[in-house]
Amino acid sequence: MGLHSDNTVISTMTLPAVPAESMEIVFKSETTERIAESFIDNVPFPLSASPVFHVPVNSLKFISRRNDKNIIELILNFKDVNYDYHPGDTLSVIPKNDSEEVESIADILGLREKLDNVCELSLINKPLEGKQKLSTKSIPTHLPAVSTLRHILEECVEIRGPPKKLFIRALAEYTTNLEEKNTLLELCSREGSKKYEKFCSTEGNTVGPGFGLLKFLQTFPSCVPPVTVILQHLPRLKARPYSIASSPLVSDKIRLIFSVYKEKECKGVCTGWLENLMTFQSLEEQFNSMNLNDAKVLIPSFLRKSVGFRLPEDPSTPIILIGPGTGIAPFLGFLEHRAAQMKADKSKEYGEVWLFYGCQNPEIDFIYEDSLKGYLKHNVLSELFLSFSRYSGSYDGWDGAKYVQDNIKKFGEKFVDQLLDKESVLYISGDAKNMFKDVMECISSTIQNHRGVGQDEASNIIKELVKKKRYLQDIWC
């Protein structure tokens, strides 16, 4: 498995104390498949700007299909939600963990037959001798005292992501294979910090994609802890934020778009769960919208506190939008909103809107192509700069640019003039891992080249834009 430790080295390492066990669980004989949804409603999420809504799905459909991943559009009906939002705001979706993944974890723990039994969690009154005392004086608020193990593992705790060092230290106590135990002890030791960082990193971990509790237990098969040890250390299941891709001026429905990898182990918790809501009878149906109103599929979600990623209050302010791939999501809301404003009041002055957009192949994943062309035709969109990273054909309005950075460089003088002299607000949206750093460096170098300044001065110019809220980012990991 690529992980091993020397017994003699382990004996010299600095280890954290073994955490005291704080909870116990009692399984009842009766079973249930339903747990009240109100539990998550009563435990506020960080950064929430609203209560949890259980909103119906209006439609769910593929809008692009590639060899590696698909892009899906989700429309939620917000007709009965009495909370205002703006284009650029974020809706956090509360997902469920994959049921097969949960069942596999239960199999390893020998609890598959008790997944749907009613269970009660309670505190252990006294810490075990020689174990580290915990400050916990109550059951964590994200764990219901009476529930089922299936409900807890599917809806309450985060089973993806690498375990913390203290969790690994606890798990080592229930690992019978000496080599595996020593590896765990090294990972949680002070001296094993670099090995731990590599083990936890996306690129460096040796257990492959989809790293989480299941992969961890499969990597160390002799580790079979009590489920209470696991529940004690797993954090609350996080809500996943998505940029709203629609305008409240146009509809009482909210549009979200997201990509989901085809390989099961690479699917995200939330995107995989949402994709599973789609059931198909044929390939043809994969491109047709599903009407789920009759099924009453409800998505638990809440509005997230705004970070200011919104259109300028003065519509005459010019804006520059940079959003490749699904990074275009908030800008679809911007454009829809601006189109509605222009239609409602033609007497106002509206600033120019530039969009730098990119995808791999316009024949496969140019999402909302017709909408963007329509905005361009009706002067909602002033400039559309296109880039296609894996395309060798011809396309009207495309001159061979592969990435959004290529167009920023090509139209560098015009870009800098629009940004600095015409005092545009710049918005960047997209994937931090694949795009953010390169775009930032490109903007800096473009300012340097066309203003005759050095790197430090260009950096100061950007910092001043950030300070004035003219350089805004909606970046996700």
* CA–CA distance, 333 with 220 (Å, rounded to integer): 47
pLDDT band, residue 201 (cuts 50/70/90): confident
Q: How many residues does the chain have?
A: 477
For residues 362, 89, 458, 424, the Cα torsion angle rounded to the nearest 10 degrees is 80
pLDDT at 182: 96
Q: Determine contact, residues 53/301, Cβ cutoff 8 Å.
A: yes
What is the dotted CATH code of the domain comprising 319-476?
3.40.50.80
pLDDT at 396 exceeding the cut of 50: yes
Domain ranges of the chain: 7-28+97-233, 47-96+239-303, 319-476
Give the tens place of pLDDT for each residue, 265-301. 789 999 999 999 875 433 445 445 445 544 578 999 9
pLDDT at 79: 94
Give the tens place of pLDDT for each residue, 9-27. 567 889 999 998 889 999 9
Over pLDDT 70: what percentage of the chain?
Answer: 87
Identity at 196, one-letter amino acid code: Y
CA distance between the termini of the chain: 28
pLDDT at 293: 47
Number of other CB atoms surrounding residue 418 within 10 Å: 20
Q: Which residues of 226-251 are buried (b: 16+ CB within 10 A; e: fewer)?
A: bbbbbbbbbebbbbbbbbbbbbbeeb
Q: Determine contact, residues 386/358, Cβ cutoff 8 Å.
A: yes
Q: Mean pLDDT over residues 364-391, rounded?
A: 98
- pTM score, whole prediction: 0.90
Identity at 247, one-letter amino acid code: S
Q: Mean pLDDT over residues 148-170, rounded?
A: 95
3 state DSSP class of 211: coil
Task: Assign domain 7-28+97-233 to its CATH architecture.
Answer: Up-down Bundle (1.20)
pLDDT at 382 exceeding the cut of 80: yes
Of 265, 294, 303, 297, which is closest to residue 278 (Cα–Cα)? 297
Give the tens place of pLDDT for each residue, 404-413. 999 999 999 9
Give the tens place of pLDDT for each residue, 338-358. 999 999 999 999 999 999 999
Q: What is the DSSP code string of 415-437?
A: HHIIIIIS-PEEEEEEEIIIIIH
Give the tens place of pLDDT for each residue, 56-88. 999 999 999 998 999 999 999 999 999 999 999
Q: Which residue has the higher pLDDT, 442 or 36?
A: 442
pLDDT at 6 exceeding the cut of 60: no
Domains 47-96+239-303 and 319-476 share a fold: no
What is the token pair recorded at 182? 């020593």
* CA–CA distance, 390 with 387 (Å, rounded to integer): 9
Strand-pair category, 425-431 with 69-77: unpaired
Q: Which residue has the higher pLDDT, 345 or 124?
A: 345
pLDDT band, residue 125 (cuts 50/70/90): low
3-state secondary structure 124-192: CCCCCCCCECCCCCCCCCCCCCEEEHHHHHHHCECCECCCCHHHHHHHHCCECCHHHHHHHHHHHCCCC
pLDDT at 45: 93
Over pLDDT 90: what percentage of the chain?
Answer: 77
What is the token pair recorded at 303? 């509005």
For domain 47-96+239-303, give its CATH number from 2.40.50.320, 2.40.30.10, 2.60.210.10, 2.60.34.10.
2.40.30.10
What is the token pair recorded at 356? 């730098």
Q: Mean pLDDT over residues 220-247, rounded?
A: 97
pLDDT at 385 exceeding the cut of 90: yes
Burial status of residue 279 (CB atoms within 10 A of its CB: 0-12, 13-18, 19 or more)? exposed
pLDDT at 90: 98
